[in-house]
Structure 1
Amino acid sequence: MHIVRYRRADDATPRVGVRTDGVVRSLPVASVAALLGARLADIQALTSEPGDVVDDARLLAPVDGATEVWAAGVTYLRSREARMEESSEADIYGRVYDAARPELFFKSAAWRVVVDGEPVAIRADSGLDVPEPELALVVNRFGEIAGYLVSNDMSSRSIEGENPLYLPQAKVYAGACALSAGIRPAWEVDGSDLPVAVRVTRDGVAVWTGTTSTARLKRPFADLVDYLFKADNFPAGAVLSTGTGLAPALDFTLREGDVVTITIDEVGELTNPVVVGREHFEFLRP
Structure 2
Amino acid sequence: MQIIRFLPPEGGNPSVGIVCDEGIRTLLHVSSVAKLLRMRSDDIRRACEHSTESSLKLKEVQLLPPVDEMTEVWAAGVTYRRSQEARMTESVSAASVYDRIYGAPRPELFFKSAAWRVVGHLEPISVRADSEINVPEPELAVVINRYQEIVGFTICNDVSSRTIEGENPLYLPQAKMYLGGCAVGPGITPAWTIEDPHRLSIEATVIRNGETVWSGTASTEELHRTVTDLVDWLHRAEAFPHGVVLSTGTCLVPDLPFSIGSGDQVEISIEGLGTLANPVVSGIGPMRWLTESFTDPTQRLSRTNGVLR
Range class of TM-score, shorter chain? over 0.9
Superposed CA deviations along residues 5-52 of structure 1, whole A, max 9, x for unmatched, are 111122411111111136111112121101101111111111111103
Structure with bigger strand share is 1
1:230 matched to 2:232? The reply is no
**Corresponding letter in the other structure for 2:21:** D
Q: Given that residues 136 and 266 in structure 2 are in contact (C-alpha distance below 8 angstroms), is that contact kept between their aligned partners in structure 1?
A: yes
Moved more, 249-258 or 122-131: 249-258
Identity across matched positions, percent:
53
Cα separation, partners in 2 of 1:7 and 1:170, compared to 1, 3 Å: same
Superposed CA deviations along residues 184-207 of structure 1, whole A, max 9, x for unmatched, are 000001211100000101111111
* Structure 1 stretches lacking a partner, 5+ long: none
Q: Equivalent residue for 2:180? A: 175
Cα distance in 1, alignment partners of residues 229 and 19 from structure 2: 30
How far has the Cα of 1:54 moved from its partner?
4.4
Superposed CA deviations along residues 248-273 of structure 1, whole A, max 9, x for unmatched, are 11121112111100000101101111
Cα distance in 1, alignment partners of residues 43 and 198 from structure 2: 24
1:119 matched to 2:120? The reply is no
- SS, match of residue 282 in structure 1: helix
**Corresponding letter in the other structure for 1:58:** Q
Q: Equivalent residue for 2:265? A: 259
Q: Equivalent residue for 1:46? A: 47
1:31 matched to 2:36? The reply is no
Cα distance in 2, alignment partners of residues 272 and 30 from structure 1: 26
**Corresponding letter in the other structure for 2:141:** A
Q: Given that residues 24 and 57 in structure 1 are in contact (C-alpha distance below 8 angstroms), is that contact kept between their aligned partners in structure 2?
A: no
Moved more, 181-190 or 162-171: 181-190
- SS, match of residue 165 in structure 2: helix
Q: Equivalent residue for 1:70? A: 74
Q: Equivalent residue for 2:207? A: 201
Q: Please, what TM-score do these two structures have when normalized by structure 1?
A: 0.98
Cα distance in 2, alignment partners of residues 38 and 122 from structure 1: 36
* Structure 2 stretches lacking a partner, 5+ long: 295-309
Q: 1:106 aligns with which of 88, 106, 111?
A: 111
1:145 matched to 2:150? The reply is yes
Q: Equivalent residue for 2:3? A: 3
How far has the Cα of 1:281 moved from its partner?
1.6
Q: Please, what TM-score do these two structures have when normalized by structure 2?
A: 0.91
Q: Given that residues 141 and 247 in structure 2 are in contact (C-alpha distance below 8 angstroms), is that contact kept between their aligned partners in structure 1?
A: yes
- SS, match of residue 13 in structure 2: strand
1:79 matched to 2:83? The reply is yes
- SS, match of residue 12 in structure 2: strand
**Corresponding letter in the other structure for 2:197:** G
Superposed CA deviations along residues 203-262 of structure 1, whole A, max 9, x for unmatched, are 111111100000100000011001111111100000000000011111211121111000
Q: Equivalent residue for 1:57? A: 61
Cα distance in 1, alignment partners of residues 123 and 61 from structure 2: 16
Superposed CA deviations along residues 126-173 of structure 1, whole A, max 9, x for unmatched, are 011100000000000111111011110000011000000000000011
Structure 1 stretches of 4+ moved >4 Å: none
Cα separation, partners in 2 of 1:169 and 1:223, compared to 1, 3 Å: same
Cα distance in 2, alignment partners of residues 223 and 235 from structure 1: 20
Cα distance in 2, alignment partners of residues 39 and 54 from structure 1: 29
Q: Given that residues 126 and 287 in structure 2 are in contact (C-alpha distance below 8 angstroms), is that contact kept between their aligned partners in structure 1?
A: no
Cα distance in 1, alignment partners of residues 22 and 173 from structure 2: 37
- SS, match of residue 90 in structure 1: helix
1:219 matched to 2:225? The reply is yes
How far has the Cα of 1:113 moved from its partner?
0.6
Cα distance in 1, alignment partners of residues 148 and 129 from structure 2: 37
Q: Equivalent residue for 1:133? A: 138
Cα distance in 2, alignment partners of residues 280 and 86 from structure 1: 28
How far has the Cα of 1:278 moved from its partner?
1.0
